[in-house]
Amino acid sequence: MASEMDQFLKANDITQTEIAEDLGLDSSSVSRKVGGERQWKLNEIQAVIIFLSRRLGRPVTYEELFGSTVEAATPEPDPAQEPAC
């Protein structure tokens, strides 16, 4: 079954390669993330939403891409919360 994001991209004629190029990621990495094999980082989700909003000329929401408000991303590590050595 295709992910919400995959369906959204296909419906709007946007390729995973375009997203990879805009985010500076490897195409295979984006493919695994879109396919649900790997989780998106929060900063990547934000960058994808900005890219898609610019590309489509309208705001794109998290819910449109992932189908829910459940957190689908791994947060960036907070250096302040790293254990001291």
What pLDDT, on the 0 to 100 scale, is given for residue 67? 86
pTM for the whole thing?
Answer: 0.76
Topology of domain 4-69, per CATH?
434 Repressor (Amino-terminal Domain) (1.10.260)
Specify the amino acid at residue 75.
Answer: P
Give 33-41's long-range contacts (Cβ < 8 A, gap of 24+). Answer: 34/3, 34/5, 34/6, 34/9, 35/3, 35/6, 36/3, 39/72, 39/73, 39/74, 40/72, 40/73, 40/74, 41/73, 41/74, 41/75, 41/76
pLDDT tens-digit series, residues 19-47: 999 999 999 999 999 998 999 999 999 99
